[in-house]
Chain A
């Protein structure tokens, strides 16, 4: 037999043997599958959250809140301040009007569908300009609210996550009633977790007089942010914080991203190491138990190299098989799962989706191959190198 034929023969024999060593092999497959499920599940959550945050907020839009407010929620700007801000240089204009939107951001209690418990849902009061500052928003069902009425449009994610937000539903906040007249898509961004209504109506409902909480402005060019900052600093009537919208949202979600980074990743890493040790151990035990068999083959004239490759292949196949099961499980359990959590200083729910990307699948498979390779390499090397006489002696005692 040629070396290739020998390799094939041994590999086939090893793989057939997997069924006889059912408990051993399933322990290995099971452990790898679980680790892959856990890792992919966790990373798809991290990815999904980061995607949602990265998709929210444009770097061509400035958001302005009262200085030191930390978030829109605790900010307050008077109508005069808002109007003054919209006259700043650097604000893009459309038909001679500055592209500036005055907004309110408040919390309403809604029931979360999955738990039936009430949570802080974000409600935003917007004006006519607001939509032109959010290019990825489009109404996918129903229509926009009519100014001056108790009507709301809801983000698609909000509708999925919270109860009572279907088109045509009437929902009461305190003792006011609102009708859901439309559903919008915002490309999965944080905005899609929100409920939008006419800013003027929200002002009345929340006793806010004529005040607002944030002003958003389209930047005319790359230096516009600096121009607006300089403008605000030179006017004593304005004590405000100015950021790009993209920076603002990255900051808002920082507590959660830190948590993921500091608890999630280290634990995932430790877990992977633990699994690797488990896989190595299983493979060692399995090879050792078969030392007699392997030695017999070699005594029959099979080469050391084919035995080595045979064991290595077996190990890698076990790992890949396990990771395929793990990936399948992760897809069933997690992919597309919609969850929400309290997002940082905005103190409201942000809804996001678990997403298993092709990249993640590649990483999982790569990890499995590494585990399989390392797990098989050393035991295979040992089995192939051991002098035949010695090996027989070991298996006999």
Chain B
């Protein structure tokens, strides 16, 4: 018998058990793949936060606008390298279900502060030159088939313009990409001036400010200097690092994400534990046989390798297809839930992590009994049979 044939025979000696074990491992890694993707998507904003960026909002709440004057005042604060501001437009395209993350921004400083927003140079110039220009994310372009030069009417759920309608017209001047995998390109931005001059009310107010400090060490001092400046005024502020802001925002979804991940994570390990236990027992049953193989002259090393390989093969047979199926599930989820979720992608890191877990599981469940197997005393093992 060749090595491989022996491996195969060992693996398939109890077909039902083989199937059940593979199936358990399959379900465990399916859960892992989908959940990790989900979890990763939820946390993407935090990981991408710039270390030297701060966010200033109204102390009352994120939705309470700040006066435009805050922008100029913060710009003059010591330790501040650059400032930009943004306002939530609350727009949708054609109908409310096509809700879009849309902002009115001070374009030049916004693009400076967010270098990860990547646009070709000529588009950048055109966008900056056209007051009605809008910069749309790659993902939106794919979804709605917009082209550069298109006139894009967007409806705001908040802002009425001066002719009393809530439809605002823009011109697509640029498409931005993300160089990293997870930056959300399902958003769009346009010029604050066009928006501010066009709106019927709340003129000269802004939503929030993003500040780039001279260096990350100054973050704390600058935050304090800004908030102190507006203390006891009608528009008090709250300044935090971008990471803290992102984390606090995620925290708002709160327990739900945590509950789903931790509880189902527990299930992942239980299923693996039970499957692993079965695999260990399956080898232990073969003690006699291993003793016979040893008698026939199989070296310890060969027996060890054979058992570990068998375990690895079993785990990979269950785990790898599961990753494939989780990819399909993630795609299905994306189209089912749509805009309600952050962008999800089964990233290479998740795949590598899953494979690492598979290898670990294989080595542990194969290694333990293999270790016992090479240690067995042939006479004692064969003697056991007689009892």
Contact = CB atoms under 8 A, between A and B. Distances in A.
Q: How large is the interface on A (under 10, 10 to 19, 20 to 34, 35 or more residues)?
A: 35 or more
B69 interface: no
B129 interface: no
Interface string A334-361: 0000011110000101000000000000
Given A274-B27, A282-B274, A108 B61 contact: yes
B34 A278 contact: no
Q: How large is the interface on B (under 10, 10 to 19, 20 to 34, 35 or more residues)?
A: 35 or more
B99 to A, nearest CB: 7
Contact of A285 (B58, B266, B278): B278
A320 B353 CA distance: 35
Interface string B24-43: 10111011001100100000
A161 B92 CA distance: 33
Interface in A28-78: 30-31, 34-35, 37-38, 41-42, 45, 68-70, 73-74
Contacts of A23: 277
A278 B61 contact: no
- Indicate the member of A73, A106, A259 with the most B CB atoms within 10 Å: A259
A246 B59 CA distance: 33
B342 to A, nearest CB: 12
Given A73-B63, A118-B248, A175-B232, A278 B337 contact: no
B119 interface: no
- Indicate the member of A107, A255, A274, A284 with the most B CB atoms within 10 Å: A274
A115 interface: yes
A173 interface: yes
B60 A173 contact: yes
Nearest to B288: A397
Interface string B293-329: 0000000000000000000000000000000000001
B251 A281 contact: no
B214 to A, nearest CB: 27
Nearest to A272: B27
Nearest to B240: A118
Majority-rule SS of B interface residues: helix
A114 B285 CA distance: 50
B59 to A, nearest CB: 5
B359 interface: no
A137 interface: no
B367 to A, nearest CB: 19
Nearest to B256: A341
A316 interface: no
Given A70-B157, A271-B31, A341-B253, A41 B259 contact: yes
B62 interface: yes
A380 interface: no
B380 interface: no
A266 B329 contact: yes
- Indicate the member of A24, A41, A270 with the most B CB atoms within 10 Å: A270
Contacts of B251: 112, 115, 117, 119
B62 A107 contact: yes
Contacts of B24: 274, 277-278, 281
B263 A285 contact: no
A257 B251 CA distance: 19
A264 interface: yes
B274 A281 contact: yes
B252 A284 contact: no
A274 B20 CA distance: 9
B27 A277 contact: yes
A23 B63 CA distance: 57
Contacts of B234: 174-175
B153 interface: no
A34 B90 contact: no
B60 A342 contact: no
A387 to B, nearest CB: 19
A267 interface: yes
Contact of A120 (B31, B157, B252, B260): B252
11 contacts: A35-B270, A42-B264, A45-B256, A68-B155, A74-B158, A120-B62, A271-B31, A274-B27, A281-B17, A281-B24, A339-B255
Interface of B: 16-17, 20-21, 23-24, 26-28, 30-31, 34-35, 38, 58-64, 90, 92, 96, 99, 155, 157-158, 166, 232-236, 238, 247-248, 251-256, 259-260, 263-264, 266-267, 270-271, 273-275, 277-278, 281-282, 285, 329, 333, 336-337, 340-341, 385
Closest 9 CB pairs of A and B: A274-B27, A278-B274, A107-B61, A255-B340, A339-B255, A281-B20, A174-B60, A342-B252, A34-B270
Interface of A: 23-24, 27, 30-31, 34-35, 37-38, 41-42, 45, 68-70, 73-74, 106-109, 112, 114-115, 117-120, 173-175, 206, 255-256, 258-259, 262-264, 266-267, 270-271, 273-275, 277-278, 280-282, 284-285, 289, 339-342, 347, 349, 396
Given A70-B157, A270-B30, 4 more contacts: A42-B264, A174-B58, A258-B337, A267-B31
